[in-house]
Amino acid sequence: MENAALIGGWGLAIVLALIALLPRKGTIENTRLDQLQEDLAAEREERKALGVEVKELRSDIALYRGRDLAWMQHYSLIQHGVETGTIPPWPDLPAALKGDQ
């Protein structure tokens, strides 16, 4: 009888050890969810960084458009002066263009 109890105890321990070694479905799913959450957080950070970069580029574009317009107006004044014969003297540079020199 003692042998049966001893074998039963060892058998139960072996069965429980084998069950513990089996992969649990929840752990795989939880690992995947953690990975997806990390990916989502990284994507959000990248989107924020890109948003800041887009805002900087928009301000640069506005600056360059203003300079282009000022150059076109200055060139138009020179062209008009040449056509009417009033050049020289050259027209003064607009304030937007004085920062370039």
Give the CA distances from residue 50 to residues 26, 53, 58, 77, in Å, rounded to whole numbers and listed in that order: 36, 5, 12, 40
28 — pLDDT class (breaks 50, 70, 90): confident
Mean local confidence (pLDDT), 18-42:
84
Length of the chain: 101
pLDDT of 24: 66
**Tokens matching residue 43:** 């994507």
Mean local confidence (pLDDT), 89-93:
79
Which is more confidently placed, 101 or 8? Answer: 8
19 — pLDDT class (breaks 50, 70, 90): confident
Q: 38-90, pLDDT tens digit by residue?
A: 999 999 999 999 999 999 999 999 989 988 998 998 888 888 888 888 877 87
Rounded Cα distance, 7 and 43, in Å? 56
pLDDT of 101: 47
pLDDT of 82: 85
